[in-house]
Amino acid sequence: MSNRDLAKDIIDLVGGEENIYNLYCCATKLRFSLHDHEKADKETLEKKDGICSVVVDDGQFYIAVGNHVSEIYAEIKKIANIDGSNSPEQGDGKSKRNIGLYIFERIFEFIAGSFTPLVPVLVGAGMLKALVIVFASLHILNTEEAGMNDTFAILSAAGNAVFYFLPVMLGVTSARKLGANGYVGGAIGAALLEPNFTNLEDGSSFIGIPVVTMDYSSTVFPIFIAIAVFALLERFLKKIIHKNLQLFLIPMLSLAIIVPFTVIVFGAFDDYFGNGVASGINYLMEANDVLAGAVVGGLMTFLVLLGLHWWIVPIMLENLANGGDAIGPLWAAATFAQIGVVFGVFVKTKNNELKSLAASTAVPGLLGVMEPILYGILLRYKRTIPYVVIAGAIGGAINGLFEITSLSFNINSSILTIPINTPWQFYLIGVLASLIIGFVLTYIFGFHAESSKAVRKQ
């Protein structure tokens, strides 16, 4: 059966074009948003050649078609008029859905879809970083030996580059996800890492508007917001600029508008909100160790994703100068909670491709390289995020209760950094609690639609 024939059958069997108000393309699945799930013939779909499985969950209708999902998706979009304009709130009765949930799903689908093309290189680079750490720890790469320091630097660059330049790569994928020019999106991300820009000092301004500088390397959400605004701007410019001028004028205006916008908005956000977060954590640490542990352990994952964790580093360094840091062990609880979730995904899933992905993100994670887990698993499967919060909060509270302190600076907690915490035996209890709880929650409650055994009707 051709891709076009399968696409036609899928449209008919989900209730026809009029029953579809949106369609997304995941790694191996088509994700339909339907007005009425009762109109979809799930049993017939499951029997069709070319369809691996059909699952209804979280108000979404998932059809797994394998690695050629993008081709099927393209055919469906050609055949049916699906643009999201026939929104869920336009219907009545069962067709009505919570608009807040709908918006959240669209945002999360945008984030997950932007990361999906990058997962292989994120995981590969993460594994390389982990190997470099192991080789250095075993003195296979002796950084003090002549020539070995250069080798270490080159291999480190190979592993670090994808994470450092993540705004550039996400600029490309997120712009394409929104139907905008991916190369302009990449250029917006690159501008945030351009040497002249990164060398700007505090007190800088743009046409008289104060600019608060920040480090955009490895950040995620600034580029997402920037590209979302860029996509809207590009559509607007296409309507008002003559076609003969669009080739150069739209990219020029987009760069000239979006880059300063991003710098002004996120510089201020990072300054005020980041300072507030750091002050809040410092206050909690002084007021109640257990509460501070629960808050830091539960929310640290979000602070890392927003790039706000760097505001906590000066406090950690000051603590170390005074004899020991208590924030690092709380942060570690969030790290091990993420590792536990990945172990849960590995054991739970029956999908060999996902099992391989989980294993390849867990190994770097155990060595302190968390980006593959964050971007390869957590941001793709939103159901895992509450597990990380719960597990991290419990582990953080335990480490706070035992007043664990770190004797050396470290923001990449791993199995190799356990000895720098004292008393390390109680530290181990806290991080193992995070890991085990994250694993158990993931294994029991599942992590995405394919793990749900019940069919939820709208």
Using CB atoms within 10 A of its CB, is residue 272 exposed (0-12), middle (13-18) or buried (19+)? Answer: exposed
The H or E element spanning position 435 is: helix 424-445
What are the angstrom distances between the C-alpha of 201 and each of 176, 196, 205, 213, 351? 33, 10, 10, 7, 49
Distances (CA, A) of 58 to 62, 455, 458: 10, 9, 9
Partners of 53 in the β-ladder = 64
Q: How far is CA 228 from CA 152, 174, 185, 234, in A?
A: 38, 8, 10, 10
Q: What is the dihedral of CA 319, 322, 326, 331, to 10 degrees?
A: 30
How far from chain centre, in Å, is Cα 406? 28
Indicate the residue type of 402.
F
- Phi/psi at 438 (5° precision): -60, -40
Virtual torsion, Cα 13, 18, 19, 23, nearest 10 deg? 90
- Residue ranges of E strands in 127-241: 205-206, 209-210
Q: Report how far residue 417's alpha carbon sits from residue 351's, in angstroms, rounded to the nearest whole number.
A: 33
Name residue 210's beta-bridge partners: 205
* Residue linked to tokens 């709130």: 89
Nearest CA-CA partner of 272 in 195, 210, 225:
210
Give the number of other CB atoms < 10 A from CB of residue 193: 18
Helix, strand, coil proportions of the chain in percent (round to 5)? Answer: 65, 5, 25
Q: Which of 11, 23, 26, 119 is catalytic?
A: 26
CA distance 305 to 366: 19
CA–CA separation, 438 and 347 (whole Å): 12
The verdict on whether 52 is a catalytic residue reads no
Euclidean distance between CA atoms 169 and 135, whole angstroms: 28
Q: Are 297 and 330 in contact (CB under 8 A)?
A: yes
Nearest to 76 by CA among 147, 20, 138: 20
Greatest alpha-carbon pair distance for the chain in Å reads: 74
Give how far the C-alpha of residue 344 lies from the chain's centroid of Cα atoms, to the nearest Å. 18
Give me the active site residues, please: 26
